[in-house]
Structure 1
Amino acid sequence: MSDYILETQNLTKDFKGFTAVSDVSLKVRSGSIHALIGPNGAGKTTVFNLITKFLPATSGKIIFKGDDITHEPPAVTARRGFIRSFQISATFPHLTALENVRIGLQRKLGTEFHFWKSDKSLNVLNDQAMSLLESVDLQTFASTVTAEMPYGRKRALEIATTLALDPEMMLLDEPTQGMGQEDIARVVELIRKVSTNRTILMVEHNLSVVSNLCDWITVLTRGSILAEGSYDEVSRNPQVLEAYVGSDDMNDAHH
């Protein structure tokens, strides 16, 4: 086994004569928090969608723990413990936070348990669901209907429902998007906490989040890898700064 839990080899995506992603070879080290960053239109989301099978690649390979998963159905890949956070967290808005996490736990068990037959098994799941809610600081929202939760707390619930599936590798798509400072700080701490014993790959716009949280950063521009390294390394790289010119992201992160 290599140190790398996930690798892409020359991942490429063409849309009708336009190459959105060109020859991206990523290596994500096991146990790391790895960010994909880049100015708008850099191809971050497309790369993420290729890796998580929302889009089929035109060419190239995706290797997870040494296995080629490029053409594997997403459900099979998910059973390997490779899970994108919103895959299941299109949470059910009319259920409570606790019920949403419990559904995640039920999915993890699969139907072989026929969990709906016995109150006892539901109680076991309730206890597990409650401890997951506590882990993301949502215990006070357990009986709140999801639709009525504040936005930042909904994003924390998405992470809790993903944790219910006990992922070995978690993929987070802009986890702090649309949040105020207080929620951002909370979610950053949460990601740091849940990263213990697992690998996280995230697309993130907010560079102060990236500098605070991530071990390794891949910078994309125009669908290709421009630079990689620690935040200090990439934030000083003249090519990276140039790519961000006209976008205020990099400057904001320095203040």
Structure 2
Amino acid sequence: MSDDYILTTQGLGKDFKGFTAVGNVDLKVRRGSIHALIGPNGAGKTTCFNLLTKFLPQSRGTMTYKGKDISHMKPADVARLGLVRSFQISAVFGHLTVLENVRIALQRRRRGDCFDFWRSESLLSQLDDEARSLIEAVGLKEFETTLATELSYGRKRALEIATTLALDPEMLLLDEPMAGMAHEDVDRTAALIKRVSANRTILMVEHNLSVVANLSDTITVLARGNVLAEGNYETVSKDPRVIEAYIGAGHG
């Protein structure tokens, strides 16, 4: 049964100077699924996400990824295991083209901890086919030669996903991927997430409940730093505790 779950936590918690941001969270993310972490403002979603991605050390509890205890590992070491947080990688450079950005990310994967910016253009161009494949996968084929700074906000996020996919993650963690997007960008990004989930696991924190409803296999609802409910959208959306938590926090 444990092989069914790629990421698990047991009693995961975080305190800040006496304030408990995350209580004792038990989480199981099924391999190959899209799992959403939701909740009203102040529920502890961001803190929990930062614990999962090793941006914060936990106060208690354990985390396991592919059967390996990652509780006290560094973010870079966890990323090498195939657990990668999108939008954390500084591989999107505004004054480089879309192709150049993805190529740099591919270079990062192939060369480990160091970049070699002095490689010849002919050597770097050997990465172009793989870069173009990733660019096409995220719907940016016609923007290959466009500078990243000239992309719309939604397409810039698509480029960031492409640079993350260049690291070939087995599990992708998305922190509010739809935040600040116009409606057309939300639809495009949701379709992209669905597409890239075909051969990997995705865990995302997201406020847009219609996106969560359409994409997620499993939803974990947090409130006051603890798990309030879990299940598919139909189950959690009808849970009286979930309804009360959202209304009580000023959400409809």
Aligned residues: 250
Q: How does 1:113-132 map to 2 (within 5 A)?
A: 116-132=118-134
TM-score, structure 1 length as denominator? 0.94
Where does residue 36 of structure 1 map in the other structure? 37
Where does residue 67 of structure 1 map in the other structure? 68
Over the aligned positions, Cα root-mean-square deviation in angstroms equals 1.7
Distance 1:104 1:209 in 2: 28
Q: How does 1:30-109 map to 2 (within 5 A)?
A: 30-89=31-90, 91-109=92-110
1:7 and 1:79, CA in 2 relative to 1: closer, same or farther beyond 3 A? same
Distance 2:44 2:117 in 1: 42
1:90 and 1:237, CA in 2 relative to 1: closer, same or farther beyond 3 A? farther
**Do structure 1's residue 169 and structure 2's residue 171 form an aligned pair?**
yes
Instruction: Give the C-alpha shift of residue 124 in structure 1.
Output: 2.2
Where does residue 143 of structure 2 map in the other structure? 141
The answer to whether the 8 Å contact 2:64/2:71 transfers is yes
Where does residue 219 of structure 2 map in the other structure? 217
| Cα shift readout 1:80-134 (whole Å, capped 9, x = no counterpart) | 1100001215622221111111111011101599685354432221121111111
Distance 2:84 2:98 in 1: 20
Q: Supply the AA of the counterpart residue of 1:168.
A: E
1:202 and 1:113, CA in 2 relative to 1: closer, same or farther beyond 3 A? closer
Distance 2:143 2:90 in 1: 16
Distance 2:61 2:8 in 1: 11
SS in 2 for 1:26: strand
The answer to whether the 8 Å contact 2:91/2:101 transfers is no
The answer to whether the 8 Å contact 1:53/1:74 transfers is yes
Distance 2:190 2:156 in 1: 14
Instruction: Give the C-alpha shift of residue 180 in structure 1.
Output: 1.2
Larger mean CA deviation between 139-148 and 67-76 belongs to: 139-148
SS in 1 for 2:123: helix
Distance 1:99 1:91 in 2: 9
Where does residue 210 of structure 2 map in the other structure? 208
Q: Supply the AA of the counterpart residue of 2:221.
A: V
1:113 and 1:103, CA in 2 relative to 1: closer, same or farther beyond 3 A? closer
1:184 and 1:113, CA in 2 relative to 1: closer, same or farther beyond 3 A? closer
Distance 1:89 1:158 in 2: 9
Distance 2:7 2:93 in 1: 30
Where does residue 159 of structure 1 map in the other structure? 161
Q: Supply the AA of the counterpart residue of 1:55.
A: L
SS in 2 for 1:242: helix
Structure 1: tracts of 5 or more residues without a match: none
Q: Which runs of 4+ in 1 moved over 2 A?
A: 111-121, 246-249
Distance 2:95 2:152 in 1: 14
SS in 2 for 1:220: strand
Q: Supply the AA of the counterpart residue of 1:49.
A: N
Choose the corresponding residue for 1:196, options 195, 198, 203: 198
The answer to whether the 8 Å contact 1:169/1:198 transfers is yes
Distance 1:42 1:247 in 2: 9
The answer to whether the 8 Å contact 1:174/1:202 transfers is yes
Distance 2:90 2:176 in 1: 14
Q: Supply the AA of the counterpart residue of 1:138.
A: L
| Cα shift readout 1:138-170 (whole Å, capped 9, x = no counterpart) | 112111111121101011111111111110000
TM-score, structure 2 length as denominator? 0.95
The answer to whether the 8 Å contact 1:173/1:202 transfers is yes
